[in-house]
Amino acid sequence: MKIAVTPFSVSSIERLAKEGSDIFILGNDKYANRLVYSFSTMEITDAKNIISTLGKELYINLNIMVHNSDLIDVEKFLNFIKELGVDGIIFGDLGIYMIAKRLEIETKLIYNPETLNTNYYDTHFWNKKGIKGLTISKEITLEDINEICLKKKTEISIIGHGHLNMFHSRRPLIENFFKYTKEEYEKFINNRNLRIVEEIRNEAYPIFQDLHGTHIFREKALESYQEIRLLRDCVDVFIIDGIFKDTNYLIETVGNYKALLHMKESNDKAKIFSKLYERDHDSGFLYKKTVYDKY
């Protein structure tokens, strides 16, 4: 199993690598949603040089919904990625697959449509398409994940730690709200400190608006400390997403998981980590099916 992280800066890469990170997921906000930081092409190039020197891997997040007007720019960015020689490209729009195939880089692609990869036949289908791998849906149980892994035909990744996105609208909902209340809204765009509370629930969901619309996340972040040893034997890439956190949090979290993976007996330590994080973390859907999977 490789550990993948979403760094907040080029300067943090060496520290994260030293702590045990194997893969670094970067993106530019013109071509990707829900980034911890938008890296320029120059920063991506610098990061690639550092990552290669360290013997690690670079994945590029390219998970936007692609419209006709985006196709030319997306192809230019994919050409840049091709020339740079990255190790993986995370995508969710099939238009990106078509462009990548024409550019002969489909073997770098990792399909992550957020919620759609829920059975092992998904891996069989994409294996025939010649891509690198896919990311399993973040809303299925540990039992389902293990079954997919046992029958997989391609590389499997999961989001194993971090806040899970549960809603995305192309509408600028935060901007529209403040326009309605006749308040200034510019300071709230891309503000990662906002929460939305439903009248019927006592939960505060992280929310922000970026170039691609509005995003709402589960209140608690996912943690898999007590499951990491089980996942190690079948999952190829374990993703730690640092959104709403910072570099120190990422370094600490990577170190925790690496320590558990290297221990001969880690159950007690894993329980300690889970207890330390329980105030604002939980096990997500690993042991409970989402309410949308009742029937």
The whole-number pLDDT of residue 202 equals 83
Residue type, 163: H
pLDDT band of residue 148 (cuts 50, 70, 90) is very high
Kindly tell me if the per-residue pLDDT of 129 is higher than 80.
yes
pLDDT digits (tens, 9 = 90+) for 72-116: 999 999 999 999 999 999 999 999 999 999 999 999 999 999 889
pLDDT at 290: 59
Q: Do the beta carbons of residue 37 and residue 7 sit within 8 Å?
A: yes
CB 226 within 8 A of CB 270: yes
Any idea which of 66-70, 134-138, 189-193 has the lowest mean pLDDT? Answer: 189-193
- The pTM (predicted TM-score) of the whole model is 0.93
Sorted by where each begins, the domain ranges of the chain are 2-163+221-293, 169-210
- Mean pLDDT value across the chain: 93
CATH node for 2-163+221-293: 3.20.20.70
pLDDT beyond 50 at 294: no
> Can you tell me which residue has the tokens 């013997």?
55
| 226-241 residue pLDDT tens | 999 999 988 999 999 9
pLDDT tens track for 271-287: 999 999 999 999 888 88
Q: What is the pLDDT of residues 249-267, one digit of tens each?
A: 999 999 999 999 998 888 8
Q: Band of the pLDDT at 179, cuts 50, 70, 90?
A: confident
pLDDT at position 291 over 70: no
What tokens were used for 255? Answer: 């170190």
Give the Å distances, CA to CA, from 212 to 102, 177, 196: 26, 17, 19
Position 41 scores a pLDDT of 97
pLDDT in tens, 16-28: 999 999 999 999 9
Instruction: Give mean pLDDT, residues 180-186.
Output: 86
- Say whether 98 sits in a helix, a strand or coil: helix
Backbone angles phi, psi at 150, to 5 degrees: -65, -30
Residue 44 and residue 288: Cα distance in Å, rounded?
38
pLDDT at 10: 98
> What is residue 139's predicted lDDT score, i.e. its pLDDT?
87
